[in-house]
Amino acid sequence: MNLFQRLDAEGMLVHLRKMPESCQQAWRTALEFDLPSDYSQIEKVIILGMGGSAIGGDLLKSLATAEARVPLLVHRDYDLPAFTDARTLVIASSYSGRTEETLSAFDKALRTPARKLAITTGGDLADIAGQNGVPVLSIGYQAPPRAALPFSFLPVLAFLQRLGFIADKSADVTEMVSVMRSLSARIKEDVPLSANPAKRLATRLYRHLPVVYGGGVLAEVAHRWKTQFNENAKAWSFYEVLPELNHNAVVGYHFPQELAPQIAVVLLRSASLFDRIKLRYDVTCQLLDQAKVGYEVIDADGNSPLSQMMSLVLFGDYVSCYLAFLYQIDPSPVAVIDYLKKKLAEG
């Protein structure tokens, strides 16, 4: 039994290898889903979710806000925005169907005239939605919620397309799947360290505190990297967003000085970013050099913003798993979250 087989007892790497196909499957499922035609009459979309079930909404917002004809909001809480009305589409996304914050907000949505939709594998969310005549997109993929990202992201993207709120993304999805397959072949576990950029980056981040930077459509990809370092590698991590970080974070590089050698900044970059944002990346790297803070720049693959986003998502997921293995830990279990849920249930 090799190192990966021994440490990856629950098969997180299997889910990473399957991610391109999972994206394709999620897209097709959403295109075939019986979506009520009157949902096109809404004026805003609220996505309810937490953790791995909410990040798909974050990615959607980053990708679609520039062209969507309706505002998009990702809501992580027990309550519901007061502006929820008959012209609102509320999408409750919970992989397990048991996320208490999402269930609470969805219960409140049921008391409004808003259109509703649920995305889940089952649980209480599927039961409650079924009892109230709310359409349910059933996820048939078994994995930790964070590894089921394609099923919280691609379906909502497809729904926006079908409702006429964004342009047809079919060609972009086709390119994305191809780009992800090619990338996975270059960074999967049997590719040696010398030829594997994901393994090399994990080695660079080992025993350091990763801080991830992203701008434009990559802002929430940076968020995804941060949460994957937390959940997979069980490691501290933070993320910042360009251009906002140029108005505050860069001023804080100096103190405490003894911390600088322990920080590793990862800047996620793509060709689709605005030229002024690209310039900010360059100047930010100069400031990091001046502060003697180490950094790495990781460029996205693909032509479309969708391909660039998801290629970096996949790359970051692999890096987080390799970092977990360097720490001699299985990336799948999240014992701390299990403990937290147990205590909340007792309370």
Check if the beta carbon of residue 39 is closer than 8 Å to that of residue 196.
Answer: no
Per the structure block, which two tokens stand in for 242?
Answer: 């360009």
CA distances from residue 158 to 66, 136, 195, 296 in whole angstroms, order as listed = 16, 15, 36, 34
Catalytic residue among 247, 258, 343, 346: 247
Q: Does the annotation mark 244 as catalytic?
A: no
Rounded Cα distance, 311 and 290, in Å: 30
The token pair at 48 is: 């309810």
Q: What is the 3-state secondary structure (H, E, C) of 142-202?
A: CCCHHHHCHHHHHHHHHHHHHCCCCCCCHHHHHHHHHHHHHHHHHHCCCCCHHHCHHHHHH
Indicate which residue of 44, 188, 278, 341 is catalytic. Answer: 341
- Yes or no: say if 336 and 214 are a contact pair by the CB < 8 Å rule: no
* Residue 208: active-site member: no
Q: Are 186 and 192 in contact (CB under 8 A)?
A: no
Q: Give me the DSSP letters along 289-323.
A: HHTT-EEEEEEPPSSSHHHHHHHHHHHHHHHHHHH
Residue of 199, 231, 234, 240 with catalytic role: 231
Look up 231 and say whether it is catalytic. Answer: yes
Contact at 8 Å (CB) between 295 and 285? yes
Say how far apart CA 169 and CA 257 lie, in whole Å.
Answer: 47
Question: Could you list the active site residues?
Answer: 231, 247, 341
